[in-house]
Amino acid sequence: MPDQQIFPDKERILIGISSCLLGEKVRFDTGHKHHSYISNTLGQYFTFHPFCPEMAIGLGTPRETIRLVEREDGIHAVGTKTEDHDVSIALRDVAEQQKDWHKDLCGYILKKDSPSCGMERVKVYKGKNPKQLVPERIGAGLYAEVLLKNFPNLPVEEEGRLGDAVLRENFIKRVYVYRDWQDMIESGLTMKKLLEFHAAYKYSLLAHDQDRTRALGTMLGGGNKQEVESLSECYFVEMMRILKIRATRKNHVNVLQHLQGFLKNNLDKEDKAELVETILKYRDGILPLIVPIVLLKHHFRRHPIEWIDNCMYLNAHPGELMLFNNL
């Protein structure tokens, strides 16, 4: 498949994606796996760079399907009918060859279960008898494996997992964090900017893991201007690890109540009671997360606090995506 030239809108975010998910007919049976949420909803905010590694190594369509097989020297991608049809080296090599545009991405959406693109739980066939191999869901697609090794902090998700509201919000949040981090680095890294970045995202991180977030703040507190570059690298690695952890309802409630505390001297009795009740209803699963967040934003507009404008917990991604409506 010839390389595509991608010229993303500067205001949009560049995301890599398995070509079949955008409706390109690159599957082994000449079909596709078009995902309407990705193209119709995320496509309003992201610029996609589609890529099919199997087409890129010349397999064409239609083609014999491949599968992952465990051998003595590791995992191989081989034909399901022709065992000596081994494309393992080609798939790994083509992933390395894409690094020039991979480095410009802020995220990647992969095709689940694919022996080339699957992120995790891909079937690996094991056994001593080639005719009686047993599949175990322990592998990753060979192209995806190299991508994840080369860019371990890059937000990566499979299209199937985007159906889970928590994982969907988690992925999109990480994409926006990744883009903001790249923008900060490009603007010229300083200790002041790093501290401001952490302050902006502290409450978002607390919703994922409170202990690790506090440890991250302590790590920054012990830094100095001379070591800001190495400190920032360690910081971002840990930040992205924290954000991959599922945010819990309990942690969200703690964050909401913490933010509520900054309004205690500004709200009258009725407004305080309403805010408390709204947070408790979210805790009990009666209301979605968007309701207490909108109410907090309403009160902070009436009673401004300067740093709240930069609090990304309240502004993690475009509200039009409605990611908090199902949490």
Order across the sheet with 107-110: list the strands.
46-51, 13-18, 107-110, 156-158
Residue 136 is inside which H or E element, if any?
A: strand 134-139
Task: Please check whether residue 303 lies inside any domain of the structure.
Answer: yes
Residues 121 and 64 in one domain: yes
d(Cα 33, Cα 45) in Å, to the nearest integer?
A: 21
Residues 135 and 271 in one domain: no
Residue 267: CA count within 13 A, CB half-sphere:
20
Task: Please check whether residue 5 lies inside any domain of the structure.
Answer: no
Residues 111 and 25 in one domain: yes
Residues 145 and 36 in one domain: yes
Distance of CA 280 to CAs 151, 155, 184, 269, Å?
40, 32, 36, 17
Task: Please check whether residue 17 lies inside any domain of the structure.
Answer: yes
3-class DSSP state of 46: strand
Task: Please check whether residue 128 lies inside any domain of the structure.
Answer: yes
Residues 92 and 211 in one domain: no
What are 303's two structure tokens? Answer: 């009673």
Residue 101 structural domain: 13-163
Task: Please check whether residue 8 lies inside any domain of the structure.
Answer: no
Q: pTM for the whole thing?
A: 0.92
pLDDT at 11: 67
> Which regions of the chain does DSSP assign to beta strands (E)?
13-18, 46-51, 66-71, 74-79, 107-110, 122-126, 134-139, 156-158
Task: Please check whether residue 231 lies inside any domain of the structure.
Answer: yes
The tokens 């995790």 sit on which residue? 120
Residues 17 and 158 in one domain: yes
The last residue of a domain, from among 225, 244, 263:
244
The last residue of a domain, from among 244, 274, 303:
244
Residues 142 and 281 in one domain: no
Residue type, 55: M
Residues 66 and 92 in one domain: yes
Residue type, 223: G
pLDDT at 1: 35
Residue 49's DSSP bridge partners are 16
3-class DSSP state of 107: strand
Residues 138 and 31 in one domain: yes
Residues 126 and 178 in one domain: no
Select from 79, 159, 77 the least CA-distant residue to 119. Answer: 159
pLDDT at 8: 46
Distance of CA 318 to the CA centre of its chain: 15
Residues 31 and 146 in one domain: yes
pLDDT at 130: 78
| Structural domains in the chain (count) | 3
Kindly give the confidence (pLDDT) of every residue in the chain, 327 residues in length, as a single tens digit, with 9 standing for 90 and above.
Answer: 333 444 445 568 999 999 999 999 999 999 999 999 999 999 999 999 999 999 999 999 999 999 999 999 999 999 999 988 999 999 999 999 999 999 999 999 999 999 999 999 999 999 888 788 999 999 999 999 999 999 999 999 999 999 999 999 999 999 999 999 999 999 999 999 999 999 999 999 999 999 999 999 999 987 666 689 999 999 999 999 999 999 999 999 999 999 999 999 999 999 999 999 999 999 999 999 999 999 999 999 999 999 999 999 999 888 888 899 888
Torsion sign over Cα 74, 160, 164, 137? negative
3-class DSSP state of 284: coil
Query: What b-and-e string marks burial along 87-123, b requiring 16 or more CB atoms within 10 Å of the CB?
Result: bbebbbebbeebeebbeebbbbbbbbbbbbbbbbebb
Residues 208 and 279 in one domain: no
Task: Please check whether residue 6 lies inside any domain of the structure.
Answer: no
The last residue of a domain, from among 244, 269, 291:
244
Task: Please check whether residue 1 lies inside any domain of the structure.
Answer: no
